[in-house]
Amino acid sequence: MKFHKEGYSTLAITILLIFILLALANYYNANAVVTWIIYIFSAFLFIVVVQFFRSPNKYFEEDHGVILCPADGKVVVIEETLETEYFNENRRQISIFMSPTNVHVNRSPISGIVTFFKYHKGKFLVAWHPKSSTENERTTIVVKNNSGVEVLFRQIAGALARRIVWYVKDNDVVKQGDEFGFIKFGSRVDVFIPLDSKVEVQIGDKVVGGKTILARF
């Protein structure tokens, strides 16, 4: 387990805030009750930040016959839908909701070349809103594997998660399980796969990024 680099600035601000609170308590000679409240609040705040930005050490073995889950969370959508941004045809959509307590690292579902990348400014609707996939701030990434199969995955910001981070661009070569981005404080990731893929998860399943198999080719 390690602390993710995207949390460095947040952790620094948190430590500074804790230091200021303790300094003020000492300066004004706060009584024991107030001091203990500050201690407890500071410890809670520190633990929450560390929890948000934790990054477990994971080891991956590539399997070109499967599509791995890109994020920790819960499967909330499995449906056939018309994907209009890139494919302009029906695809199987699998959506994973990331709560604030989940690991927020996003990992590539397959190995291949990034054939499409686009960032969209947008709204901050709650992640489970039907229009969040098309109206919220988001990134769209498409990776093509050696067999020519393309998988589209989309990072979607929510009402709480208002910062999407990505580490890929057009023509990058990515490896299955590698980090491609980070969504601060959770939200949602949509994956669009070929209709003939065999889905291996069900709605309500808890999934682990880079480990759970979403589907097989």
Enumerate the domain spans of the chain: 2-55, 66-216
Give the model's pLDDT for residue 190. Answer: 95
Look-up: residue for tokens 């602390």?
3
Report pLDDT for 10.
82
- Total-model pTM: 0.82
Asked if 127 contacts 156 with a C-beta cutoff of 8 angstroms, the reply is yes
Distance in angstroms (rounded) separating the CA atoms of residues 47 and 68: 30
* 174 Cβ contact partners less than 8 Å away, ≥ 6 residues apart: 108, 111, 112, 113, 114, 143, 168, 180
pLDDT band at 170 (very low <50, low <70, confident <90, very high): very high
Q: For the purposes of burial, counting CB atoms within 10 Å of the CB of 20, is it exposed (0-12), middle (13-18) or buried (19 or more)?
A: exposed
Residue 148 pLDDT level (bands cut at 50, 70, 90): very high
Section 135-143 average pLDDT: 90
Least confident span in 43-47, 102-106, 160-164? 160-164
Q: What is the rounded average pLDDT of the residues 190-216?
A: 95
Q: With 90 as the cut, is the pLDDT of residue 154 above it?
A: yes
Annotated catalytic residue within 42, 108, 132, 187: 187
For 8, the token pair is 């460095």
Whether pLDDT at 63 is above 90? no
30 to each of 16, 18, 98, 183, how far by Cα in Å? 19, 15, 40, 39
Residue 187 annotated among the catalytic residues of the structure: yes
How many whole angstroms separate alpha carbon 72 and alpha carbon 70? 7
Fold of 66-216: Glucose Permease (Domain IIA) (2.70.70)
Token reading at 175: 């490896």
| pLDDT at residue 161 is higher than 70 | no
* Residue 80: per-residue pLDDT: 97
First vs last C-alpha separation in the chain: 32
Amino acid 1: pLDDT = 67
Task: For residue 74, give the amino acid letter.
Answer: K
Distance, in Å, from the CA atom of 88 to the CA atom of 29, rounded to the nearest integer, reads 66
Rounded-to-integer distance, Cα 140 and Cα 76, Å:
19
